[in-house]
Amino acid sequence: MTTPWGAGPGVMSYVPPAPPGAVAFTPAEFLAWARGELAEHRGHRLPGPWQPGQHLGLLGKTREGKTNFAVWLCNELRDYVLALDPKGMDESLSASGWPRMSTVPGGRARPAWLSREHRAWNKIQDALAEEVPQRLIAGVSTRTRQADAANRRLMEDAIEYCRQAGGWTLLVDEHQVLSDPRMFGLGPSIARMAITAARDKTSLIVNFQYLAWIERAGVRQSTLIGMARTRDRDLIKMAAAAAGRPWQELATIFDEFEHKYWWAVISDEPRAPVLLVRPPKVT
């Protein structure tokens, strides 16, 4: 029997049968693949691992666990992470336990001298110099239009900081809010990052619910597309187009694999199997 999501060892070891064209993993097996330690699994030749400089798109509706999946991967696979919170004070992102910052080095807003944020950045910069892993959130409360404007400036400055510094994984927790021209309108900055950042080993993770009103370069440039369980043909067709796969192949997998909280990870390698994993609950 399976156990509730993240509620015991059963969720870590149970692997249901996978439909044709897919292969299921325990979380530990999935991480071994992502680290390049597992080239074949259950008779399938696997796609290449998720490497620094490669991007990841996560497609799923609200409450499907996009942020949880992203935080789990970043905690396990990336040492330097800056998560953008354009919605402001997102509960799932805050539950990661990562420090929340309201400024970034070189940004237009500066922390007051010897303030808590000023001291925090001094410690972070020292840690970075010593190659100590750092995972941070950039985002402030957005209850007013003035606060929205301040958060937008922070998002833009954080993107530029990661682009200049290199080596970071930039997690965009709500891609539509960030890139939609009706909202923050920072799609061009994300597109530039997606297209050029690979040379500096900068990875981009974009979480989104739909492909309308978002900057699509972050999706089209993704090596991997993660998709929550769904039977929505429009969503399946969008993911298939982004990954360069026949949508009917993905539709068959989702129709036959009905296990809740599992994700399908689709590589841009057209002959690679679809990877199925149920991330542990971390947020």
pLDDT in tens, 94-127: 999 999 999 999 999 999 898 999 999 999 999 9
Integer angstrom CA distances of residue 76 from 5, 80, 123, 164: 18, 11, 22, 24
Q: Has residue 3 got a pLDDT over 50? A: no
Domain locations along the chain: 10-277
- Residue 143 has what pLDDT? 86
Global confidence as pTM = 0.91
The CA-CA-CA angle for residues 280, 282, 283, to 5°, reads: 135
State the Cα–Cα distance between residues 269 and 46, nearest whole angstrom.
Answer: 9
Percent of the chain predicted with pLDDT > 70? 92
End-to-end, the C-alpha distance of the chain in Å comes to 24
Residues 6+ apart with CB under 8 A from 144: none
The 3-state DSSP composition of the chain as helix, strand, coil percent (nearest 5) reads: 40, 20, 45
CA 177 from chain center: how many Å?
A: 15
**CA nearest neighbour of 138 among 80, 99, 186:** 99
The rounded radius of gyration (Å) of the Cα atoms in the chain is: 19
**The pLDDT of residue 61:** 82
Give the model's confidence band at 251: pLDDT under 50 very low, under 70 low, under 90 confident, else very high. Answer: very high
pLDDT of residue 1: 30
> Which pLDDT belongs to residue 6?
44
Q: Is the pLDDT of residue 2 over 50?
A: no
Contact by Cβ (8 Å): 50, 200 = no
Mean pLDDT of 143-165: 93
Does the pLDDT at position 149 exceed 80?
Answer: yes
User: Regarding predicted confidence, which is higher, 30 or 191?
Assistant: 30
- In this prediction, residue 8 carries a pLDDT of 44
Average pLDDT over every residue of 250-278 = 93
Residue 208: CB partners within 8 Å, gap ≥ 6?
57, 58, 59, 174, 175, 176, 214, 219
Select the more confidently predicted residue: 213 or 37.
Answer: 37
User: Mean pLDDT in the chain?
Assistant: 88
Provide CATH code, domain 10-277.
3.40.50.300
Cα–Cα distance for residue pair 255/153, rounded to 1 Å = 43
43-74 pLDDT, tens digit per residue, is: 999 999 999 999 999 988 888 899 999 999 99
Averaged pLDDT, 2-10: 41
Higher pLDDT: 274 or 114? It is: 274
User: In the chain, what percentage of residues exceed pLDDT 90?
Assistant: 62
The partner residues of 90 in beta bridges, in order of sequence, read none
